[in-house]
Structure 1
Amino acid sequence: MRSILLEVCVDDAAGLEAAVEGGADRIELCSALGLGGLTPTAGLMALASKVPVPVYAMIRPRPGNFVFSESEVGMMCIEIDAVRAAGLSGVVLGANLADGRLDLNTLDRLVARAGGMGLTLHRAFDLVPDFSQALESAVALGFERILTSGGEKTAPEGTAQLAAAVEQAGGRISIMPGSGVTEATIAGLLSRLPVSEVHSSCSSAEPAQDPRLVSLGFAPPVTRKTRASLVQGLKADLLTHGRSLLRL
């Protein structure tokens, strides 16, 4: 049976608990998932260090693009040190040049700083002008996997590009589909993509409970909450798919 790993991204203590309860195989730990994920706090990293599954921490010092200044790269190096000190399994990195290509000099520095830890290249990859070239660069830098939607808003929309990346990778690096990966879309994705892992928030939208928090700027009108039931459902679908391949 082909085993497909489920990585769940979370940005708070409740989400971390729900992901573990639901059966996530790995956690991507962030803050501010509504902004695409930023570096998690020291407190959240300390909490995550106690869970029984591997945890990779996002290294991203601000929202917006992935073109980082020298000062920001220095911040990211210190954040990598904090992840190591917390005892987490790995880091999630990405950096672009102004023209969208991967910033190989910055990535080389960050990868060296993270020596000995696991490495995921995040969706900065989706901004590159040449997927093939960027994939080879990711392999050369030593990344374990690329988290990507195939350059589209969601992975289901980028399936053709994802399939080409999987073929080119040839097992040298994992291509991990992310964005729009749900129980409703997973069967279609896996029917076309021979991948070994997928990435999902396993979350649902939840309106703010206190309108005053919204009006004072303390909370957005709607947030997304990780649900253990959604993790369980997606994990069950992955197991079912693996069994169906076994019967072929």
Structure 2
Amino acid sequence: MAETITLEVCVDSADGLAAALAGGADRIELCSALEIGGLTPTSGLLRLATASPAPVVAMIRPRGGDFCFDEAETQLMLHEIDAVAAAGLQGVVLGASLPDGQLDQRTLERLVRRAGGHGLRCTLHRAVDLCPDLAQATAQAVDLGFERILTSGGAKGAPEGLAGLRRCFGAGAGRIAIMPGAGINADNVHLLRARLPLTDVHASCSEPVTPASPQVLAFGFDAGGRRRTSRDKVAAVKAALLS
């Protein structure tokens, strides 16, 4: 019998949530702006997700760009954690960096403490992939109380980051779940299964969205690059994990 591997799918819309669930996602990462790696979801999407039959965790990221957050941005994230808790979701996805790429332990301690006070589970997101020492960052995540790390092993995509992923698994030593993510699809997930002791996999299972019209782009209402969750792609990755 094949091992059980949890498929987490990130979504940024009502349609995306429905597609991920219809395709068989085991857990949802709720966000906005998939095209830049995800931002904090809207209050409306948080409310909609409360009806999900699968567990839902929400991204906590107030803006695009780097993960070096000042005090005002940290306060925003603390309030966003409160909103996720008020919505009754299961967890949050967090990350914060220092200018040299190392984890911002002080900020993360505050965020994890706030989440823990609400009973929310915490995932460390791909800010970890900017860290110069993935093994050290994994150990820090354990000490901070994270349940899971979402990482591509320091590479652009998880299939290219196998060496870094192995360092994370080794440093975690079973104390924290290591969840490969970025660039994973039904065609390459077998590679990860064959080389890593997988328990969780993260994927967007998305496809590009064509802007409604050139005028929408010209007026700046769409910057291009938006993506939409595909039910068929979710189902294909799920089938690959079950085979």
Query: Contact 1:119 / 1:143 at 8 angstroms: preserved in 2?
Result: yes
Listed one character per residue, the Cα deviations across residues 2-51 of structure 1 (whole Å, up to 9, x for unaligned) are 10000000011110010011110000000111111110010000001111
Structure 1 counterpart of 2:78: 77
Listed one character per residue, the Cα deviations across residues 68-112 of structure 1 (whole Å, up to 9, x for unaligned) are 001110110000000000001000000011111111110000001
Structure 1 counterpart of 2:160: 157
TM-score after normalising by structure 1: 0.95
TM-score after normalising by structure 2: 0.96
Tell me the distance in 2 between the aligned counterparts of 1:17 and 1:124.
Answer: 28
Q: Is residue 217 of structure 2 the alignment partner of residue 218 of structure 1?
A: no
Q: Is residue 122 of structure 2 the alignment partner of residue 132 of structure 1?
A: no
Secondary structure in 2 aligned to 1:62? coil
Return the letter of the residue paired with 1:71: A
Alignment of 1:107-146 (within 5 A): 107-115=108-116, 116-146=119-149
Listed one character per residue, the Cα deviations across residues 184-217 of structure 1 (whole Å, up to 9, x for unaligned) are 1111111111110100001112322322111111
Alignment of 1:138-217 (within 5 A): 138-217=141-220
Which consecutive unaligned segments of at least 5 residues does structure 2 have?
Answer: none
| Matching residue within 218, 223, 232 for 1:229 | 232
Q: State the identity as a percent.
A: 57
Tell me the distance in 2 between the aligned counterparts of 1:170 and 1:19.
Answer: 31
Query: Contact 2:150 / 2:181 at 8 angstroms: preserved in 1?
Result: yes
Which consecutive unaligned segments of at least 5 residues does structure 1 have?
Answer: 241-248
Return the letter of the residue paired with 1:93: L
What number of residue pairs does the alignment pair up?
240
Query: Contact 2:24 / 2:235 at 8 angstroms: preserved in 1?
Result: yes
Query: Contact 1:132 / 1:168 at 8 angstroms: preserved in 2?
Result: yes
Query: Contact 1:166 / 1:195 at 8 angstroms: preserved in 2?
Result: no
Secondary structure in 1 aligned to 2:236? helix
Where does structure 1 differ by over 3 angstroms across 4 or more consecutive aligned residues? none
Secondary structure in 2 aligned to 1:146? strand
Listed one character per residue, the Cα deviations across residues 137-196 of structure 1 (whole Å, up to 9, x for unaligned) are 100111111000011100011011102211221210011000000011111111111110
Structure 2 counterpart of 1:15: 16
Tell me the distance in 2 between the aligned counterparts of 1:15 and 1:192.
Answer: 30
RMSD: 0.9
Secondary structure in 2 aligned to 1:7? strand
